[in-house]
């Protein structure tokens, strides 16, 4: 049995059955427990949420923080805290290994701090083998939950606080979307907004559909209501989030396209910039390109994962487009939005990838000339069709191809950086520069970073900035009179 500081258990009567009321009820109980513990400690309880992986996880972490702050925990910058949560990723094997490694460090902190609780959540927890390993070798973890029941965090927190053993609650899937829970944004002026959850695409290398479940879209009116509230609270830029935003709305009772949703969001007064990710090439419609062309708020940046340039490999990856279709999309996008920045994801070493297949990928890279590209070594994820394929590629060959690809990607990014020098363009100021306090740092519509002289008072506002020069991958500029 675990040693734990005792709390006086609160009797629970008339627990609400509907959400989000039920979670607010549990937040009140958690708050009472946190107050009891803080009194024993003689100081407020602290927490730290560490996020691995994608923007979806970053947004989920903001929801965890929202609840923790509401129940009385105080955020701290280190993992030597009274409650540490790892919001995990499992897209590639090394993401899992990183978590196991760091859990060892947390165990040492916990030995010194009797108040400490450790929570694990996110995609990695949806893998049964991970939960088995935790139960066997990581008994000091207090709370384990997955991606489908994150909205129940307040309730799970209460269970974990009352329990002396590991609390585990993992759901296989859900069709439930709970609105109106507290969220604590990392930035005051920009925010992620989930428009859908899950993925139906089953790309043959990818574990996401297994750990995030089937695709579910939020109702447009709920999305609009959330963005309106964010704007009223000072947000000027939103990032619409989904595994495949281009298939948004298909499973709603009254189907809506992503392009239609964007047009509604565009009308929100006070909202200045709209970003979205991720776009799947197979579902990128002419309607969407037209909306992007006519919009004054949609940013001039599109992340369009290629994965491979070989039509043969794309077929085995179950991507439902070929090299020609992808290149055609890029042409259409550039014709509609001439200075759009394009970024991508590429996997090297997918099973059966030949030198010729890899050359096709290099060919697309040279042809499209991405502003930047995330390159990944193929990672064999148990349970996915690709993991069972013969012809896994030897490590030395993959590494050699990866290095060649990276070089090509970097050469092109370096050539492209700086093309806007001399222009005056709107920059959203995001923060005071970490290295030089006389500078502020912001972003252009195309997502490029700009440093310019300024003060904290400029944060969250958009200024016309003259781009004076490009240093490496960022611009140095000067704000013009508005
Ligand atoms: N191995 C390597 N990269 C992967 N990705 C997804 N699954 C794998 C895998 N098994 C990459 C894809 C995706 C990005 C988020 O992660 O490129 O677009
Ligand atoms: Fe994975 Fe493909 Fe879904 Fe993206 S679209 S999350 S790569 S299965």
Query: What tens digit of pLDDT does each residue of 168-193 get?
Result: 999 988 888 888 898 999 999 999 99
Q: What is the pLDDT of residue 4?
A: 74
- What is the C-alpha separation between 311 and 308, in angstroms, rounded? 8
Mode of pairing for the β-strands spanning 474-479 and 449-453: parallel
Q: What is the pLDDT of residue 414?
A: 93
CB-based contact 291:298 (threshold 8 Å): yes
Q: CB within 6 Å of ligand 1 — which residues?
A: 91-92, 205-206, 305, 307, 345, 347, 376, 378-379, 381
Distance 376 CA to ligand 1 centre (A): 7
**Which ligand 1 atom sits closest to the C-alpha of 54?**
15
Phi, psi of 282 (to 5 degrees): -65, -25
- Sequence length of the chain is 482
Interacting residues of 11 by C-beta distance below 8 A, sequence separation 6+: none
Q: Is 41 left (phi over 0), alpha (psi -120 to 50) or beta?
A: alpha
Q: Which ligand sits closest to the CA of 303?
A: 1
Q: Which ligand sits closest to the CA of 304?
A: 1
DSSP at 307: B
DSSP-assigned beta bridge partners for residue 119: 85, 143
Specify the residue with its C-alpha closest to ligand 1, atom 7. Answer: 206
Outline where 246-394 has alpha helix (H). 258-266, 286-294, 311-316, 323-336, 355-368
Name which of 257, 248, 243, 246 is nearest 218 in CA terms. 248
Specify the residue with its C-alpha closest to ligand 2, atom 1. Answer: 206
CB-based contact 210:73 (threshold 8 Å): no
- What is the C-alpha separation between 122 and 148, in angstroms, rounded? 9
Name which of 74, 24, 23 is nearest 44 in CA terms. 74
Q: What is the pLDDT of residue 154?
A: 97
Distance 201 CA to ligand 2 centre (A): 6
Q: Is 44 left (phi over 0), alpha (psi -120 to 50) or beta?
A: beta
Per-residue CA distances from 266 to 7, 220, 257, 275, 297 (Å): 50, 13, 14, 11, 6
Q: What is the pLDDT along the chain (482 residues), one digit of tens a residue?
A: 455 788 999 999 899 999 999 999 999 999 999 999 999 999 999 999 999 999 999 999 999 999 999 999 999 999 999 999 999 999 999 999 999 999 999 999 999 999 999 999 999 999 999 999 999 999 999 999 999 999 999 999 999 999 989 999 999 888 888 888 989 999 999 999 999 999 999 999 999 999 999 999 999 999 999 999 999 999 999 999 999 999 999 999 999 999 999 999 999 999 999 999 999 999 999 999 999 999 999 999 999 999 999 999 999 999 999 999 999 999 999 999 999 999 999 999 999 999 999 999 999 999 999 999 999 999 999 999 999 999 999 999 999 999 999 999 999 999 999 999 999 999 999 999 999 999 999 999 999 999 999 999 999 999 999 999 999 889 999 999 76
Q: Which residue has the tokens 């590639």?
A: 92
Check whether the bond before 20 is cis (ω within 30° of 0): yes
Q: What is the pLDDT of residue 2?
A: 52
**Which ligand 1 atom sits closest to the C-alpha of 205?**
10
Secondary structure of the chain: what % helix, strand, coil (to 5)? 40, 20, 40
Distance 450 CA to ligand 2 centre (A): 32
- What is the C-alpha separation between 297 and 273, in angstroms, rounded? 5
Ligand 1 binding pocket mutation candidate from 207, 345, 378 (most atoms within 8 A of CB): 345
Specify the residue with its C-alpha closest to ligand 1, atom 18. Answer: 345
- What is the C-alpha separation between 438 and 453, in angstroms, rounded? 6
Per-residue CA distances from 190 to 56, 227, 303, 350 (Å): 15, 10, 18, 36
Does ligand 2 have an atom closer than 6 angstroms to the CB of 244? yes
Does ligand 2 have an atom closer than 6 angstroms to the CB of 243? yes
Q: Which residue has the tokens 């100081």?
A: 43
Query: What tens digit of pLDDT does each residue of 214-225 get?
Result: 999 999 999 999
Ligand 1 binding pocket mutation candidate from 376, 395, 398 (most atoms within 8 A of CB): 376
CB-based contact 350:319 (threshold 8 Å): no
Tokens of residue 214, six digits: 């089937």
Specify the residue with its C-alpha closest to ligand 2, atom 5. Answer: 201
């Amino acid at each position: 049995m675990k040693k734990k500081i005792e709390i006086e258990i609160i009797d629970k009567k008339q627990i609400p059955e509907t959400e989000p009321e039920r979670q607010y009820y549990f937040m009140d109980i958690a708050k009472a427990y946190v107050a009891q513990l803080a009194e024993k400690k003689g100081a407020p309880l602290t927490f730290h949420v560490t996020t691995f992986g994608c923007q979806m996880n970053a947004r989920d972490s903001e929801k965890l923080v929202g609840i923790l702050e509401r129940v009385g925990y105080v955020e701290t910058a280190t993992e030597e805290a009274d409650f540490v949560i790892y919001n995990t990723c499992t897209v590639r094997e090394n993401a899992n290994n990183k978590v196991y490694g760091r859990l060892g460090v947390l165990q040492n902190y916990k030995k010194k701090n009797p108040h400490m609780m450790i929570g694990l959540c996110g995609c990695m927890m949806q893998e049964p083998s991970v939960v088995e390993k935790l139960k066997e070798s990581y008994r000091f973890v207090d709370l384990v939950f997955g991606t489908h029941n994150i909205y129940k965090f307040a309730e799970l927190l209460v269970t974990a606080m009352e329990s002396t053993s590991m609390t585990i609650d993992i759901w296989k899937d859900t069709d439930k979307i709970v609105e109106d829970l507290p969220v604590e944004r990392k930035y005051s002026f920009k925010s992620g907004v989930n428009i859908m959850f899950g993925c139906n695409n089953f790309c043959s290398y990818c574990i996401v559909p297994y750990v995030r479940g089937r695709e579910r879209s939020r109702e447009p009116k709920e999305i609009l209501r959330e963005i309106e509230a964010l704007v009223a609270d000072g947000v000027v830029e939103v990032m619409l989030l989904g595994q495949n935003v281009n298939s948004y709305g298909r499973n709603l009772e009254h189907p809506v396209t992503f392009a239609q949703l964007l047009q509604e969001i565009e009308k929100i007064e006070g909202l200045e910039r709209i970003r979205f990710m991720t776009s799947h090439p197979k579902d990128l419609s002419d309607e969407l390109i037209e909306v992007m062309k006519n919009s004054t708020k949609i940013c001039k940046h599109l992340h369009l994962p290629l994965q491979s340039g070989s039509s043969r490999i794309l077929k085995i990856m179950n991507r439902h487009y070929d090299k020609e279709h992808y290149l055609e999309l890029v042409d259409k996008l550039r014709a509609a939005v001439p200075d759009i920045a394009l970024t991508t994801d590429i996997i090297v070493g997918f099973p059966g990838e030949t030198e010729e297949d890899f050359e096709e990928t290099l060919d697309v890279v040279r042809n499209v000339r991405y502003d930047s590209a995330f390159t990944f070594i193929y990672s064999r994820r148990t349970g996915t069709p690709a993991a069972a394929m013969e012809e896994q590629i030897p490590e030395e060959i993959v590494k050699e191809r990866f290095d060649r690809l990276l070089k090509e990607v970097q050469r092109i990014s370096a050539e492209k950086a700086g093309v806007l020098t001399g222009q005056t363009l709107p920059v959203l100021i995001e923060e005071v520069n970490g290295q030089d306090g006389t500078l502020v740092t912001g972003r252009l519509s195309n997502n490029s970073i700009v440093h310019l002289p300024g003060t904290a008072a400029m944060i969250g506002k958009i200024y016309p900035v003259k781009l004076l020069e490009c240093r490496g991958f960022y611009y140095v500029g000067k704000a013009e009179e508005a």
